[in-house]
Amino acid sequence: MSVIDILRQLLDPQITGPGIGPPDGTFDTPHCEAWVTLDSDMAARMYRNDVQLTVNFGIGSAVRGIKSSIYKFDRELSGAITRRRRASRLAAQSILAPIQQEIFNLMALSIQGHFEKAYRRWLRNSLLMLNDNPITDEDVVKAQWSNPANPRRDLGELMAHIRGVHLRDTVEGPYLLELALVGNVVRHGDGPSARIVYEQYPHLFDPVTVFDGAPAHEEDEEIPERLRISEERICTYAQAAYQFWHRIQYAYTSEY
């Protein structure tokens, strides 16, 4: 290895991405006293491990890849000699930055979709083990994440009817409910969720552009374009999904 290679290793930062580590015991308790344990919780370990593998080897790899590409252009830009070379590299960098943000937004949607698929299956399997429950399988299939007009078709509320605890009342629940709405914005753009997310979680959006000292008129269709999910938020969402399933499987087995 040459001296240049050694210096490059010392100077180049370690490109990292979102990741989930093994359980450390922090969340090894049932959700609360009203929690109902059922045999459907047997699958929680599988759901937990699936989240970990998806994030560590899928989402993490994608984030590391785009960060590595942007870092490469940053280095080449700083070393550019001619104005022409500098301009071309700067143009490439300006293209990559929005792509990185779109990838981060899509990674949040990926976590949300992965969690929702397992969550619905878990609720449906739990329903099979209960007698005289007014909730039907059709309620779970057709439920949405935010449906206050019809609690029997609200996914968070259904968990309370089937398992004894509303999703929002769990430690991870607020992050998972936020993620559900964020996923709707990424998936549908300027649908009704965009305004709801913006009003409830304004910190997830770029501020409105200011012209001549006054904010520009804000149209609903402009809100999704300002969504800025950070890598740190991706990690928060992933950890919340992982810990949700870990807590359930620990309550069921008392094992890691």
Residues 6+ apart with CB under 8 A from 12: 71
**Cα–Cα distance for residue pair 20/79, rounded to 1 Å:** 36
Residue 210's H or E segment, with its range, is strand 210-211
80 occurs within a structural domain: no
User: How many Cβ atoms sit within 10 Å of the Cβ of residue 167?
Assistant: 23
**Cα–Cα distance for residue pair 241/239, rounded to 1 Å:** 5
Residue 70's H or E segment, with its range, is helix 60-79
102 occurs within a structural domain: no
238 occurs within a structural domain: yes
**CB 163 within 8 Å of CB 36:** yes
Residue type, 15: I
97 occurs within a structural domain: no
130 occurs within a structural domain: yes
Radius of gyration of the chain from Cα atoms?
Answer: 22
Q: What is the number of domains present in the chain?
A: 1
207 occurs within a structural domain: yes
Closest alpha carbon to 251 in 131, 176, 171: 171
pLDDT tens per residue across all 256 residues of the chain = 555 554 444 445 677 877 887 777 776 676 777 788 899 999 999 999 999 999 998 888 888 888 887 777 777 666 656 777 667 666 666 777 788 888 899 999 999 999 999 999 999 999 999 988 999 999 999 999 988 788 899 999 999 999 999 999 998 999 999 999 999 999 988 777 788 899 999 999 988 766 555 555 566 678 888 999 999 999 999 999 999 999 999 889 888 7
**Cα–Cα distance for residue pair 69/74, rounded to 1 Å:** 9
Domain that holds residue 111: 28-56+107-253
pTM: 0.84
What does the pLDDT read at residue 108? Answer: 95
**CB 162 within 8 Å of CB 132:** no
70 occurs within a structural domain: no
44 occurs within a structural domain: yes
